[in-house]
A and B are shown apart, each in its own frame.
Chain A
Amino acid sequence: GNSVTQMEGPVTLSEEAFLTINCTYTATGYPSLFWYVQYPGEGLQLLLKATKADDKGSNKGFEATYRKETTSFHLEKGSVQVSDSAVYFCALSDSTGNQFYFGTGTSLTVIP
């Protein structure tokens, strides 16, 4: 079956620190992979995506590379800001189905 496992939180970092949030997946077929971000009181917003192996998604300084050999899609940012404080969700969509599968979310707090 399809599933997503992501790093447990919460994560607390100082401003300008390097961020990594780990995400691994299990999927049938050839999934597309996503990172979503959720700010307090809001819905999920797409942060970045990758649709095939070795693709790198990037947005707002965040990056993630689709690694088929390790079934991973880790989120990274070189220098976090206080405004990056949010909950981050890794997700996949299997092209053979109609569903999205989400990880449990990782809460990030960035302190000045």
Chain B
Amino acid sequence: DAGITQSPRHKVTETGTPVTLRCHQTENHRYMYWYRQDPGHGLRLIHYSYGVKDTDKGEVSDGYSVSRSKTEDFLLTLESATSSQTSVYFCAISSLPSTEAFFGQGTRLTVV
């Protein structure tokens, strides 16, 4: 299994609070991704990174920011959490854009 660790695995937070999710990899892969999974929508890309300090937006980036200061870590921040951001968040990594992505176990975030 690819070495991807997401933390925390579960989190409950209040509306309006900031939240940071962490993705850590031990594979030295260049590309890292954050997705959210919601019923009826499949996986939707939030942000991705193609190198240290190189990031770009996905289709549902509003309300989220990311940072990648080291190859192995990709952080997703919800600046001010809203109930619509209740979801399961997955981190993924890949070595090249056309090769397969490997996924973490997910973080279940509930915003109350």
Contacts and interface: CB of A to CB of B under 8 A. Distances in A.
Contact of A98 (B31, B42, B100): B31
Interface in B89-112: 90, 92, 94, 97-106
B39 to A, nearest CB: 9
Contacts of B92: 44, 100
Secondary structure class of chain B's binding surface, majority of residues: strand
Nearest to B101: A100
A70 interface: no
Given A44-B90, A103-B42, A95 B98 contact: yes
B48 A104 contact: no
Interface of B: 31, 33, 35, 40-45, 48, 50, 56, 58, 90, 92, 94, 97-106
14 contacts: A43-B103, A44-B92, A45-B103, A46-B102, A93-B94, A93-B100, A93-B101, A98-B50, A98-B97, A100-B45, A100-B92, A102-B35, A102-B42, A104-B42
